[in-house]
Amino acid sequence: MDTYRCIVTKREIRTFTDRPVPEEILQQILNAGRMSGSSKNSQPWHFVVVRERGRLRELSGFGRFAQHVASAAAAVCVVLDSPRAFFDAGRCAQNMMLAAWNAGVASCPASMHRAEDARSFLGAPEGHVVATVISFGYPHPKGRGPIERAALRILAGRGRRPLASLASWERYAASRPTPTGI
């Protein structure tokens, strides 16, 4: 799939099959994160891959909206060596999710609201922070589960805003100039 199509078709999926993600695809996903840009090439991240079902269930308990982590084939926890690197963590997470989608693997990020508990659970050093946890797995063929359906009911009608409503030209809220001579 080309890059643009991968970007515009990517959606958060929270319901997965039991099929494991092959090691080679997990390696590609991790490598896509590794290759992300970062401020001054600091590469402030460390990836903790969790695949054991009991640990996935326990990890999901550290976030208020992280139930999907429990049913994922794998979760990648992006641990930062500095809380100042959240922007870089977002770039890294997006790279991994797009690489996964390109391989047919669905994903969904989750915030760890009990961040210190998550850090301790993962064995990350003091002073490090869990920026995000991304669940990965193959999308369930029967569609969305109850959590996804509830989220969609809340978001119903929102859709994507038209580009013209969120882009300005030269100054905030300025319309795109009409071409002259046409």
Q: Domain locations in the chain?
A: 3-144
DSSP 137: E
3-7, 66-70, 128-132, 150-154: range with lowest mean pLDDT: 150-154
pLDDT score of 33 more than 90 = yes
* DSSP reduced 3-state for 60: helix
What mean pLDDT do residues 164-175 have?
84
Q: Give the pLDDT confidence of 74-115 residue by residue, as tens digits.
A: 999 999 999 999 999 999 999 999 999 999 999 999 999 999
pLDDT at 155: 46
Q: Look up the pTM and report it.
A: 0.85
For the structural domain made of 3-144, what CATH number should be given?
3.40.109.10
Distances from the Cα of 94 to the Cα of 30, 32, 66, 90, 155, angstroms: 11, 9, 17, 6, 22
- Chain position carrying tokens 């079902």: 53
What mean pLDDT do residues 32-40 have?
97
